[in-house]
Amino acid sequence: MSARPKVLVVLGTRPEAVKLAPVVRALRAAGDAAVRVCATAQHREMLDLMLADFGLRPDVDLDLMRAGQDLNAFAARAFERLGRVLRRERPDLVVVQGDTTTALIGALAAFHERVPVAHVEAGLRTGDFANPFPEELNRTLIDEAAVLRFAPTPRAARNLGPGRRGQSVLVVGNTVLDALCWALARRRPVRDPRLRRALAAAAPGDPVVLATAHRRESFGPALRGLYRAFGRLVDAHPRLHLLVPVHLNPEVRSAARALGRRPRVHVLPPLGYLDAAAALSRARFVMTDSGGLQEEAAFLGKPALVLRKVTERPEGVRAGVALVAGVDERRVFALASRLLDDAALYRRMARPVSVYGDGRAAERIARAIRVRLGLARTLPRAFRPNSP
């Protein structure tokens, strides 16, 4: 091992940038390891938006995104290029996050080069490789390759089991809440002009709902039905304003056309993280198939309707602050209407809970990495949620 150990952080998508920026910041603040960031740019525009908000500049930018790319073609390009990066950089540890193709290929390429892997957000499971697709298989394989497995919750740690020789598990919380705390503390005015106009259009007493839907397993009729449900909800509630950031994927953009040009439906581009935090802060509740948004909503006391058949984040459901709504148009419309009309149900669900983290996950991860590299002696205390 070199006198100053090197950590290579591999990322390529919006959520990876959000959830790894606090880790990069914490490792660099310690000052005793060389931290390098490698971007695959799996999602070029959305990644750049996040990196700019966090003031994070890749040391290596592979710029691999291609128009109309499929996962296999992207994975092949990433595998070959990341192999070259690893042989040139010769890191002592590779850090990946979550369950993207970038994370999977980063972990496998590191494994082939005999470089230890740390997995941030380890242990999430639905038990169904089709939901979410392909993420459920990706994260399972990454956890097999990783030697450091940073589970966000005790349940995620239990999913991992004892592991093989040389693997370790530490419950740290989810780093998305570190990012959220950082963003809210900055109190920066909203920058996106469309979001600014949307927030100004809603009177102080008007309900505002944040809605996102983009999962690959929902592409086709189910996704179009979700967007129709969003439109029906606005039609049925004359004061409701709907904030709908739309993913750049052509399938999602096509489905979003079902919203039409309703005056209180605010179709938005992908938002920078600081603007996204502002939108969440104003929302009465969220409807989403995003994993990170489920965690952020629970932390801020915003009820969540989960637009999936099953969630790998059941802690919010068990705590009573989230409901799995599925992807059926009628059911989603009915549950969202209940949350708007049933004050007692809303009060029961609108409670901040720290089941996913406390804003200190990156600090724990950085400490554990430094122990692995021989730069610190004692591991941090594990995160303990405040409710089941």
What positions carry a catalytic annotation? 99, 121, 135, 214, 216, 247
Q: Is the CB of residue 384 less than 8 Å from the CB of residue 46?
A: no
Nearest to 107 by CA among 60, 142, 71: 142
296-302: list long-range contacts, CB under 8 Å, 24+ apart. 296/176, 296/177, 296/180, 297/321, 297/322, 298/322, 298/352, 298/353, 298/355, 298/356, 299/177, 299/180, 299/352, 299/353, 299/354, 299/356, 299/357, 300/180, 300/352, 301/350, 301/351, 301/352, 301/353, 302/350
If 0-12 CB within 10 Å is exposed, 13-18 middle and 19+ buried, where does residue 56 land? middle
Write down how long the chain is.
388
